[in-house]
Structure 1
């Protein structure tokens, strides 16, 4: 009767209003990324939503119908500022030690 008091749908919006399927490993990677995000707990849902949108957008642009962990990572990388993206790419080339060094640098 009063649309003002209706609960909003919890379904996550995507770019073209069609939800994409997520591989189990991509869902697990998303949960891990959100858990490790250096933001206050109240912002975790916003971070999750932004990561989902970035991953789905990347997968869609690649012509895929489901999201993989690689799509999640590439979607995240596409949203980083250029200077940070370069740092992450360089650290990744060095392997786990390079990523640990980057983590220390950022903190």
Structure 2
């Protein structure tokens, strides 16, 4: 986890059919860090260089989609306040890789 972390967000990641798990998502200079709040053995990191696109869908479901070279990570923000904070931070942090869609 090299580099300084910026604010973190609690999100529910879709980890299976009808299964969501609560994670804390942090951004560092090098990685997107996902820390599972229920089971630390499920923690994982995605290098920023592998992130190709991040889309936040603002609406009733408050969704986030993170596309990497290897996978697609889906999740939901638990509150509109967290979503709004994430929109501002992701917009400045990822610039051209970031999209915000209002539904």
Q: TM-score, normalised by structure 2?
A: 0.27
Q: Which has the higher helix share?
A: 1
Q: Which has the higher strand share?
A: 2
Q: Which has the larger radius of gyration?
A: 1
Q: TM-score, normalised by structure 1?
A: 0.26
